[in-house]
Amino acid sequence: MTKSYDICWGRHRLQLGKRTCVMGILNVTPDSFSDGGSHFTTEQAVAHAEKLIGDGADILDVGGESTRPFSDAVSEAEEIRRVIPVIEAVAKRSSIPISIDTMKAAVAKRAIEAGASIINDIGALRLDPHMAEVAAETGVPVILMHMLGTPKTMQASPHYENLLTDIKIFLADSISNAVRHGIERSRIIIDPGIGFGKTVAHNLTLIRCLDAFESLDAPILIGPSRKAFIRNLLKTEFPETSSAPNSADMERIETGTQAIVAASILGGAHIIRVHDVARTAATIRILDALKGDFDASCD
């Protein structure tokens, strides 16, 4: 049975575990691996945000810097230029929590001032020495993700002595570091980092063994949406998926994503981060009902 968590802050509340929450991805970038350039203007981004919210997003995750493998960093000023107008506009239109997907403390601070209320840091507070301070001062929930190195280096022959143990130790240390800097323990969410410094086998093991992270006593976020490992699993039988075009071939990749989403929910994930909110909301509804039936009938 998935453990429940109740995160309350400001005017927001996330009841995690009673049902699975869906986080909608809004990339305000020209070069993200799946939808780069699709929502690059403020008008495009706000329109897509409204669609994601209408489709059932519980959280909106706004990012202004691509973190695809081997990507180059963008400047702090450029990242702020991309995301702040979008966050300001969406915050005026919707009451759902907005997450800022950034590794930079200054971007996180400006985003929270603009209306964001969660920090999603793929660097787990280790890439910017001021990020923990911003999180502690603002009192918002923080998502701490495991990643090998940086987006530029993470997929260069990723290796672990013991995958689950290494990632669990990393996340435990990240939680301790966050608490040490004044971040409330009850507002920490963990993410094992699907696709961030992992092989196909690593990603499958993480999905299969999510319960290994339950002892860390924190809600678990999983972000498998349209990741390369799904395309790699499909490309032998469906070669057209290897290039992930924005066409009908993406349907297979999205179907593969939903299979991983289902496995993640059954494995104990509390939040699912995806591009296609509508399909994921339907998957979640069925899987949550199925889990509820199991909880009620398995003596």
The two tokens of residue 297 are 């009938």
For residue 294, the model assigns a pLDDT of 53
**Is 227 known to be catalytic?**
yes
Q: At what angle do helices 42-55 and 277-297 cross, to 10 degrees?
A: 30
Assign residue 55 a region (left: φ > 0; alpha: ψ between -120 and 50; beta: otherwise). Answer: alpha
pLDDT tens, 172-196? 999 999 999 999 999 999 999 999 9
pLDDT at 39: 60
41-57 mean pLDDT:
94
Please provide the CATH number assigned to the domain covering 19-297.
3.20.20.20
- pLDDT at 167 exceeding the cut of 90: yes
CA distance 43 to 102: 21
Lowest mean pLDDT across 82-91, 95-104, 237-246, 278-287: 237-246
pLDDT-derived band at 114, boundaries 50, 70, 90: very high
Residue 135 Rama label (left phi>0; alpha psi -120 to 50; beta): alpha
- How far apart CA 281 and CA 261 sit, in angstroms, is 10
Is the predicted pLDDT of residue 298 greater than 90, yes or no?
Answer: no
Give the count of beta carbons closer than 10 Å to the beta carbon of residue 255.
Answer: 12
The model's confidence at residue 207, banded by pLDDT at 50, 70 and 90, is very high
Whether the predicted pLDDT of 130 surpasses 50: yes
273: annotated active-site residue: yes
Question: Using an 8 Å Cβ cutoff, are 115 and 83 in contact?
Answer: no
CA distances from 181 to 38, 125, 135, 174, 178 (A): 38, 10, 9, 11, 5
Query: How far is residue 221's CA from residue 193's CA, in Å, rounded to a whole number?
Result: 9
**Range in 49-58, 67-76, 118-127 with the lowest mean pLDDT:** 67-76
Radius of gyration over every alpha carbon of the chain, rounded to an integer in angstroms: 18
How many CB atoms lie under 10 A from the CB of residue 76? 16
CB 44, CB 75: distance < 8 Å: no
- Helix (H) / strand (E) containing 255: helix 250-267
Distance CA 61, CA 19 (A): 19
- Cβ neighbour number for residue 265 with a 10 Å cutoff: 24
Of all residues in the chain, the percent with pLDDT exceeding 70 is 90
Give the β-pairing of 12-16 and 59-63: unpaired
214-226 mean pLDDT = 97
Q: Which of 110, 168, 198, 227 is catalytic?
A: 227
Paired tokens of 45: 């981004």
Could you tell me which of 99, 134, 104, 147 has the C-alpha nearest to residue 120? 99
**What does the pLDDT look like over 223-269, one tens digit per residue?**
999 998 998 898 877 776 666 554 445 888 999 999 999 999 999 99
Among 104, 226, 273, 291, the active-site one is: 273
Would you tell me how many other CB atoms lie within 10 Å of the CB of residue 165? Answer: 11
Inform me whether the pLDDT recorded for 84 exceeds 60: yes
pLDDT score recorded for residue 209? 97
CA distance 158 to 139: 34
* pLDDT at position 33: 46
Determine the residue type at 213: F
What is the per-residue pLDDT across 138-161, written as a single tens digit (0 to 9) for each? 999 999 999 987 777 777 788 999
Helix axes 250-267, 200-208, angle to 10 degrees: 40
Predicted local distance difference test score (pLDDT) of residue 16: 97
